[in-house]
Amino acid sequence: MTFVVVQIDCCQEPENYFKVFNAFKDEAGRFKACICDDAMGMLSLYEASFHSVHGETILEEAREFSTKNLREFISQNKDENHLSKLIVHALEVPLHWRAPRLEARWLIDLCKRSHDVDSTFLDLANLDFNLVQSIHQEELKELSRWWKQLGLGQKMSFSRDRLPENYLWATGMVHEPQLEYCRRMSTKIFAILTIIDDVFDVYGKLHELELFTDAFESWNMNAMDQLPDYMKICFLAVYNFTNEVAYHVLKEQGFHILKYLRKAFELKRGDATPTSIQCYMQETGATEDEARQHIKSFIDQTWKQMNTDRTENSPFSRTSIDIVVNLARITMWMYENRDGFGVQNHGITKDIASLLFLTSIPLGCEVRDI
């Protein structure tokens, strides 16, 4: 938190970065060896380095230095204590790139097995998590009723039925209780887009898809007459939902957003979309490992740009910016080393959804060693 405050200030005066980090360097410009003895401090330096923006070299040096020393610490400390688990977890994915709600549950479970955590603080964290979870449970029940009444899942049996996963995605973006409308509408949008995606990728014939695309572009109810029955119900569901959202925003906020919502549903797609890794391999002749490293570098550069956008003056609210950043975080989690959404009944995704929405945290449990 201290670093983030300093970072915002340093956007106006970049030389402040050097004042902060040069205190940890020797006369030769290298990080002092003595700070290697403080593993927790090294972990904090590592986490701070992921808040870097374009043009900064000192945080790149900090990341390289801290990563090397943290890996050495893990290799020399095989016992899985609280600190070791934190370090291994951070080396897998830094805190800045993790979805807050998922990270909160993981950290609570870790702290329950440690003697170094204030029990009162932990009880408050447990209670807060359970209270927010109860709100999410009610929302998920309401969304389940909406999905059943909409009838798309039953009428289009070829498509993926992913309402819990869609709600998990929305909760990863925005979990705060007061932002319920955003979470609920996001879930509905994701659910409908999943159906449309399957129409294009799985079931639709070429001439049907052309008519389907034309219907969205014209945004005319008369275009439904040319569609097969299964596409009619899909188009009508999108049409009604889009107008409902546009009406609500116009009434509550005074903004006319219908044309932007329409554009979001104007899809022109092929039958198969290659992955970014496959595209890079085909375009450059790179191996799969080389392609993966390139994509990781691209992700890192994108995070730097988002860090810049977060600290600069923006016409968007802080809440809006945080939602966009959290979308990147939950997307990274969903597709990190797997397809956590497209694969039916993916074990990890369902386990996490169960922990977040179904399994409350027992209160007053004894703290155990790890």
* H helix intervals, the chain: 2-10, 15-21, 39-49, 58-76, 82-92, 100-111, 119-150, 152-155, 163-173, 180-198, 206-218, 229-253, 258-264, 276-284, 288-311, 318-335, 347-357
* 4-24 pLDDT per residue, tens: 444 444 444 545 666 777 777
Please report the pLDDT score of residue 47 as a whole number. Answer: 94
Q: pTM score, two decimals?
A: 0.84
Low-confidence ranges of the chain (pLDDT < 50): 1-12, 14, 268-272, 366-370
Contact 353, 101 (CB under 8 A): no
Domain boundaries in the chain?
A: 2-97, 132-357
SS3 (DSSP) at 46 = helix
Decide if 2-97 and 132-357 have a common fold.
Answer: no
Helix 229-253 vs helix 206-218: crossing angle, to nearest 10: 20
- Phi and psi at 227, nearest 5°, equal -90, 150
Residues 6 or more apart in contact with residue 219 via CB below 8 angstroms: 239, 262
132-357 placed in CATH 1.10.600.10: yes
Contact 317, 332 (CB under 8 A): no
Domain 2-97: which topology? Glycosyltransferase (1.50.10)
Please report the pLDDT score of residue 309 as a whole number. Answer: 86
What is the C-alpha radius of gyration for the chain, rounded to an integer number of angstroms? 24
Please report the pLDDT score of residue 340 as a whole number. Answer: 55
Residues 6 or more apart in contact with residue 107 via CB below 8 angstroms: none
Q: How far is CA 139 from the centre of its chain?
A: 20
Q: Provide the CB-side half-sphere exposure for 115 (13 A, CA).
A: 4
Q: How far is CA 107 from the centre of its chain?
A: 17
Please report the pLDDT score of residue 268 as a whole number. Answer: 43
Contact 196, 236 (CB under 8 A): no
Please report the pLDDT score of residue 101 as a whole number. Answer: 95
> Which residue shows structure tokens 């990190």?
336
